[in-house]
Amino acid sequence: MSHLLAPATYADQRDKARRILPRQLFDYIDGGSYNEVTLRNNSQDLDRLCISQRVLRDVSRITTSTRILGQDWSMPVALAPVGLAGLFRRRGEIQAAHAAQAFGIPFTLSMMGLCSIEEVAKNSAKPFWFQLYMMRDRGFVMELVERAEKVGCSALVVTVDLPYTGVRYRDVRNGLVGGLGLSDNIRVIIDRMQKLGWLRDVVLSGRPLTLGTIAHKLPPAGLFPDFVKFAHSNFDPSVTWKDIEWIRARWKGSLIIKGVMDEEDARLAADVGAQSVVVSNHGGRQLDSVSSSIAALPAIATAVGDRVDVLIDGGIRSGLDVIKAVALGAKGCLLGRAWAYPLAANGEAGVKSMLRTMHSEIRVAMALSGATSISEIK
Nearest to 45 by CA among 327, 334, 293: 293
Please name the helix (run of DSSP H) or strand (run of DSSP E) that holds residue 10, with its range, or none.
helix 10-20
Rounded CA separation 82/171 (Å) = 16
- Specify the length of the chain in residues: 378
282 is catalytic: yes
Query: Count of alpha carbons within 13 Å of 197, Cβ hemisphere only?
Result: 12
Angle at the Cα of 136 from the Cα atoms of 255 and 263, rounded to 5 degrees: 40
Q: What is the strand order of the sheet 155-159 is part of? A: 77-79, 332-335, 309-313, 276-279, 254-260, 155-159, 129-132, 108-109
Q: Which of 98, 216, 232, 282 is catalytic?
A: 282
Q: What is the largest CA-CA distance in the chain?
A: 67
Q: In sequence order, what are the residues at sequence separation of 6 or more whose Cβ sits closer than 8 angstroms to the Cβ of residue 141? A: 132, 134, 135, 247
Q: List the beta bridge partners of residue 78.
A: 334
E strands in the chain: 66-68, 71-73, 77-79, 108-109, 129-132, 155-159, 254-260, 276-279, 309-313, 332-335
Give yes or no for a contact between 40 and 351, defined as CB atoms under 8 angstroms apart.
Answer: no
* Catalytic residue list: 282
